[in-house]
Amino acid sequence: MDKVILKEFVIPFKGISKKTIYHFSDSHLTEYDAESDVNEIEHSKKQTTAWEGVRKGFCEAYGCPYGELEMQTAQEHLENLLSCASDGDALVIAGDTMDYINGANLRISEKLFGDYKKPFVQVCGNHEPHKD
């Protein structure tokens, strides 16, 4: 696994023992899989290319390194985050796990979070619109 930067913040509360709660957001899955149709595959490839450009532009604008770690797919990055968070007590995912809702992104999310063994809460972001 490549490097992931984690920061620890201690917030003291009387009577509560130390807990480690990981928090992340904005993985922006743009995936396709063996069950995807041609339209889903084309849209996924287009969005993946767009996000690669965003990451590269951000790194160039702010002087951040841009190498192999930054070229990971959204799925690889999400898998790494979940692996890092597995030693914590709980996980909070604050939206935009998916860049858009499609079958592959739902299947991948279901598999990754179905295999995750710690308590977690996941909320929708603006890329995962709520449908009534």
**What per-residue confidence (pLDDT) applies to 16?**
63
Mean pLDDT in residue range 3-7: 65
Strand order in the sheet with 120-123: 21-24, 90-94, 120-123
* Lowest-pLDDT range of 24-28, 65-69, 115-119: 65-69
Residue with tokens 């889903």: 40
